[in-house]
């Protein structure tokens, strides 16, 4: 067993029923600006295991953030991201449903192509203030996390696969969109639903009855509700997130990943308390047995 990888609770035994959730916490390097989300993924993984009374496997050794360009970040992250991709291959092949706490959105470079290979019928519901549709040639910042969906759908080569069909991407709560991303969205292949009172109904229409793999970036929430890296006004409340989770639970759920939860909470509560509030907001989906 490699450093930084192991089971805090009893681990996945190698077989599962179709309705079986399997928990993982990934907290290795993944394009981090700071160290807070690596610590946040550890806390969130622990609290998910408590809430779901399930085993938890941890992947990734937390190290100081590099805060570097995408090539440096990807090179540093690839070995542990590949371990996570291998785990997803095993879980999905066995009929399990992964629930994964991740530090940064860039971790989805490892998960989404595997999901797309095993479940090409499923759509990825990506709740995020940002579309994350940049490529290395369109990104001014060179931030790896801003290139995730473009990489997972083969618009650039991350080395982790690009099988996700753009038509199976449903963006929710997006509101900070750069010009190259807007041009791509204007082509119409990718569904994008902005935040608003009718978000739940518009997301339901975009999903159109398909199975769902759900990704949450905590910056989709209104700033100040939870610790997260980016603060973009006009986001969801936790009650709004719970309503989205309830709607998603109407569908077959292929898997769930929760990311960008940082330690140091703006509310003054403990990180454990904040993680519990986040889990409560998504609990209608986690308690769903449709698989």
Q: What is the pLDDT of residue 74?
A: 98
Rounded CA-CA distance 208/194 in Å is 17
Kind and range of the H or E run holding 98: strand 97-102
Q: What is the pLDDT of residue 158?
A: 98
Within a domain: 182: yes
Within a domain: 151: yes
pTM above 0.85, yes or no: yes
Within a domain: 1: no
Rounded CA-CA distance 214/98 in Å is 10
pLDDT of the chain, 291 residues: tens digit per residue = 334 455 554 443 333 333 589 999 999 999 999 999 999 999 999 999 999 999 999 999 999 999 999 999 999 999 999 999 999 999 999 999 999 999 999 999 999 999 999 999 999 999 999 999 999 999 999 999 999 999 999 999 999 999 999 999 999 999 999 999 999 999 999 999 998 889 999 999 999 999 999 999 999 999 999 999 999 999 999 999 999 999 999 999 999 999 999 999 999 999 999 999 999 999 999 987 665
CATH number where 136 lies: 3.40.800.10
Q: What is the pLDDT of residue 6?
A: 54
Q: Are strands 97-102 and 253-259 parallel, antiparallel or unpaired?
A: parallel
Within a domain: 291: no
**DSSP annotation string for 201-249:** HHHHHHHTT--EEEEEEGGGBPTTSS--S---SS-B-HHHHHHHHHHHT
Is 34 exposed, middle or buried (CB count within 10 Å of its CB: 0-12, 13-18, 19+)?
Answer: middle
Strand order from edge to edge, sheet including 253-259: 6-7, 56-59, 21-26, 97-102, 253-259, 212-217, 123-127, 169-172, 191-193
Q: What is the pLDDT of residue 17?
A: 35
Within a domain: 45: yes
Within a domain: 277: yes
Q: How many domains does the chain have?
A: 1
Q: What is the pLDDT of residue 197?
A: 85
Looking at 23-178, list the stretches that DSSP marks H as alpha helix, in order from N- to C-terminal side: 36-52, 70-93, 108-118, 148-152
What is the residue range of 174's domain?
6-11+20-286
Within a domain: 158: yes
Within a domain: 181: yes
């Amino acid at each position: 067993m490699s450093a930084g990888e192991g089971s805090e609770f009893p681990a996945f035994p190698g077989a599962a029923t179709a309705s079986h959730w399997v928990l993982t916490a990934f907290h290795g390097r993944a394009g981090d600006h700071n160290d807070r989300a690596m610590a946040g993924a550890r806390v969130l993984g622990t609290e998910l295991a408590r809430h779901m009374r399930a085993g938890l496997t941890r992947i990734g050794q937390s190290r100081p953030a590099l805060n570097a360009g995408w090539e440096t970040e990807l090179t540093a992250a690839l070995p542990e991201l590949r371990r996570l991709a291998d785990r997803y291959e095993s879980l999905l092949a066995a009929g399990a449903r992964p629930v994964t706490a991740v530090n940064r959105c860039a971790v989805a470079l490892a998960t989404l192509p595997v999901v797309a290979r095993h479940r090409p019928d499923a759509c990825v519901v990506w709740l995020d203030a940002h579309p994350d549709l940049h490529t290395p040639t369109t990104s001014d910042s060179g931030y790896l996390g801003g290139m995730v969906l473009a990489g997972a759908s083969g618009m650039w080569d991350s080395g982790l696969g690009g099988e996700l069909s753009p038509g199976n991407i449903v963006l929710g709560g997006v509101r900070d969109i750069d010009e190259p991303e807007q041009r791509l969205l204007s082509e119409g292949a990718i569904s994008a639903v902005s935040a608003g009172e009718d978000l739940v109904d518009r997301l339901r229409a975009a999903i159109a009855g398909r199975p769902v793999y759900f990704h949450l970036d905590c910056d989709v929430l209104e700033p100040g509700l939870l610790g997260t890296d980016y603060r973009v006004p006009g986001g969801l409340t936790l009650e709004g997130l719970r309503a989205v989770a309830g709607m998603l639970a109407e569908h077959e759920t292929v898997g769930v990943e929760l990311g960008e939860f940082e330690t140091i909470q703006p509310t003054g509560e403990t990180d454990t308390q904040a993680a519990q509030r986040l889990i409560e907001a998504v609990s209608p989906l986690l308690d769903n047995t449709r698989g």
